[in-house]
Amino acid sequence: MFIVINVGFFQFFIGFALLMLLTEIKQSISSKSVHLENPSGPVQITNPIRFSDPLPDGVDVVIVGGGVIGMFSALYMNRQGLKVLVCDKGRIAGEQSSRNWGWIRQHGRDRAELPIMMEATRLWEEADHNMGGRAGFRREGVCYLASSEAKMKSREKWLEIAREHQLDTRMLSKSEVDDLIDRSGSNGSAHQWMGGSYTESDARAEAWQAIPALAELAQSEGVTIIEDCAVRMMDVEAGKITGVFTEKGRVACEQVVIAAGAWSSVFARRHGISFPQLSVRSTVCQTAPMPEVFAGNAADEELAFRRRNDGGYNLAGGANHDLYIGPDAFRHFFKYLPVAREHLKDTSFKLSAPKGYPDSWSLNRKWQADEISPFEEMRVLNPEPKKGQVETIRQNFEKRFPHLGKPEIKHAWAGMIDAMPDVVPIVDRVPELPGLIVATGMSGHGFGIGPGFGKIIAAIAQNKPTGHDMTRFRYSRFTDGSTIEPGPSI
């Protein structure tokens, strides 16, 4: 029986791989790469280094990764008296933290995430005030739209969770959607929505402005931050962390937080620590300024849009994403089956990741403290936008707002989202290695919930109560026999 099962398993993957190869060849013939100017956009390796504090001899905590989770964790740790060093292999917010949609969303959250997200929304407002408004925080609401009765019922199911926490989410009829989202010039030719669900207290911010501004705030309060400084390895003696080896030298510490996004599992596996994290590519684009149709964030089955403070919109293809097949994808295949069944239509499979990506076949997974690590070879993970998707996004926007026509795209980009099989992160200590905290697998939800988890991580580092039930986010849930229960993805 064992042999029969495995032969069938590999026959499935061989056939699947051939199908994906033919699909990629077809796409490469029919599509062209998107190369658009970037007058202002996600943080790149070409951005000047802004944070270059001297390397300290020792600190209380080293945070690996200068994204939204790492920076908020550092801010709150520092305020509670811990000496903190944040190291980023490239630039602060160089990867997903400046490439996301910019939503600060309570709406549609996992039941366990919602209380943390409600606190995070308040913390975002406070942080933006402390940053002098540079994050661009605005409470303009989130609307999930439905194009069918079936989708309306799906949207309505989540209201039970909202009511539990007295969140201001409500269902909208077709006429109420028309009142909320201005399509007065479409003359009835637009894509029709049956209705939707709406959380008025939700917010938005400008991602590539917010996290560098947050880093400046944290640095001004005493956090040490160093860009272009990869943490190669942890220094472990007698089963305990005694420091880290960076490319610039060793730093003594007793605690390390892995908040490295798509790179977290690569760093952890070098130390024999494994968790089922994969990364998926998501494409986003920015329009030129255009008339306002909705001041907040909205999404239906094919299109997500968010009003920007510069008068344009961030647009994306809803929940659509791409998964590169690599060693970890095979290793964790069965753990991802439940969520794969639910979201297969939203996923495009690629035979292999480009060289140097976190799950590429050729990635060096064994290195020493005095050797160049994969993190230095890929300072900023900057994937190309998906071929053809930007035009599809433009067409979908025009279908919904025909009176505006196809929007002018100023810039398009992509990011690699760190994902977990149940669509919620790990935020927990690692029992096998005292002093190690893992905070990764945000599954596309990290920007909004960043300050909430940052405050929790600061409490974990001091062995204090977090104020929230963290059972859902425990490190051991993938090895203790628990059933994997995917949360909502959008």
Residue 84, pLDDT > 80, answer yes
* 238-371-256 Cα angle (round to 5): 45
3 state SS of 144? strand
pLDDT of residue 34: 37
Query: Poorest-confidence range of 36-45, 77-86, 94-103, 193-202?
Result: 36-45
Structure tokens at 81: 């008296």
Instruction: Give the mean model confidence (pLDDT) for residues 288-309.
Output: 97
Residue 435, CA distances (Å) to 18, 430, 466 in order: 45, 8, 17
Of 192, 182, 227, 206, nearest to 88 (Cα)? Answer: 227
Band of the pLDDT at 337, cuts 50, 70, 90? confident
Give the integer Cα–Cα distance in Å for 242 and 113: 33
> Number of helices (H) and strands (E), helices first, in the chain?
14, 21
Contact 401, 293 (CB under 8 A): yes
Structure tokens at 16: 């699947």
* HSE-up of residue 43 (Cα within 13 Å, Cβ side): 28
Structure tokens at 208: 């590539």
Residue 318, pLDDT > 60, answer yes
- Between 446 and 1, whose confidence is greater? 446
Residue 326, pLDDT > 80, answer yes
pLDDT of residue 387: 85
- Between 10 and 358, whose confidence is greater? 358
Band of the pLDDT at 17, cuts 50, 70, 90? very low
Contact 444, 282 (CB under 8 A): yes
Contact 326, 353 (CB under 8 A): yes
3 state SS of 336? helix
Q: Which residue has the tokens 């989540």?
A: 158
Residues facing 439 on adjacent strands: 427
pLDDT of residue 466: 98
Q: What is the DSSP letter of 302?
A: S
pLDDT of residue 321: 86
Instruction: Give the mean model confidence (pLDDT) for residues 117-146.
Output: 98
Q: What is the tens place of the pLDDT at every residue in 403-456?
A: 999 999 999 999 999 999 999 999 999 999 999 999 999 999 999 999 999 999
Residue 70, CA distances (Å) to 34, 105, 116, 438, 441 in order: 31, 19, 17, 11, 13
3 state SS of 169? strand
Residue 425, CA distances (Å) to 123, 333, 481 in order: 19, 18, 18
pLDDT of residue 345: 76
* HSE-up of residue 228 (Cα within 13 Å, Cβ side): 11
Give the integer Cα–Cα distance in Å for 335 and 342: 13
Instruction: Give the mean model confidence (pLDDT) for residues 156-173.
Output: 96
Q: What is the DSSP letter of 290?
A: -
Residue 108, pLDDT > 70, answer yes
Which residues neighbour 64 within 8 Å (Cβ) at sequence distance 6 or greater?
A: 70, 87, 231, 244, 256, 257, 258, 259, 260, 264, 267
Q: What is the pairing mode between strands 304-307 and 313-316?
A: antiparallel
Contact 277, 265 (CB under 8 A): yes
Residue 30, pLDDT > 70, answer no
Q: What is the tens place of the pLDDT at every residue in 233-284?
A: 999 999 999 999 999 999 999 999 999 999 999 999 999 999 999 999 999 9
Instruction: Give the mean model confidence (pLDDT) for residues 41-56.
Output: 97
Band of the pLDDT at 490, cuts 50, 70, 90? low
Instruction: Give the mean model confidence (pLDDT) for residues 206-222.
Output: 98
Residue 369, pLDDT > 70, answer yes
Instruction: Give the mean model confidence (pLDDT) for residues 155-175.
Output: 96
Band of the pLDDT at 339, cuts 50, 70, 90? confident
Q: Which residue has the tokens 């794969």?
A: 340
Q: Helix axis angle, 68-79 relative to 207-220, nearest 10°?
A: 30
- Between 15 and 143, whose confidence is greater? 143
Residue 176, pLDDT > 70, answer yes
Q: Residue 213: what are its φ and ψ, rounded to 5°?
A: -65, -40
Of 104, 115, 198, 194, nearest to 153 (Cα)? Answer: 194
Residue 32, pLDDT > 80, answer no
Structure tokens at 265: 């599992």
pLDDT of residue 320: 80
3 state SS of 419? strand
* HSE-up of residue 487 (Cα within 13 Å, Cβ side): 23
Residue 35, pLDDT > 80, answer no
Q: Spell out a b/e string for 36-52, using b for 16 or more CB atoms within 10 Å of the CB, else e.
A: eeeeebbbbbebeeebe
Question: Helices in 357-485 by DSSP H: which ranges?
Answer: 374-377, 389-400, 446-461
Structure tokens at 406: 């196809």
Residue 340, pLDDT > 80, answer no
pLDDT of residue 351: 86
Instruction: Give the mean model confidence (pLDDT) for residues 452-467.
Output: 98
Per-residue DSSP letters for 13-81? HHHHHHHHHHHHHHHHHH--------SS-S--TTSPP--BPPPPSB-SEEEE--SHHHHHHHHHHHHTT
For the chain, give the percent of residues with pLDDT over 70: 91
- Between 163 and 342, whose confidence is greater? 163
What residues does each domain of the chain span? 1-30, 31-478
Which residues neighbour 433 within 8 Å (Cβ) at sequence distance 6 or greater?
A: 236, 239, 240, 241, 271, 273
Fold of 31-478: FAD/NAD(P)-binding domain (3.50.50)
Give the integer Cα–Cα distance in Å for 122 and 179: 28
Instruction: Give the mean model confidence (pLDDT) for residues 353-376.
Output: 96
For the chain, give the percent of residues with pLDDT over 90: 84
Average pLDDT, the chain: 91
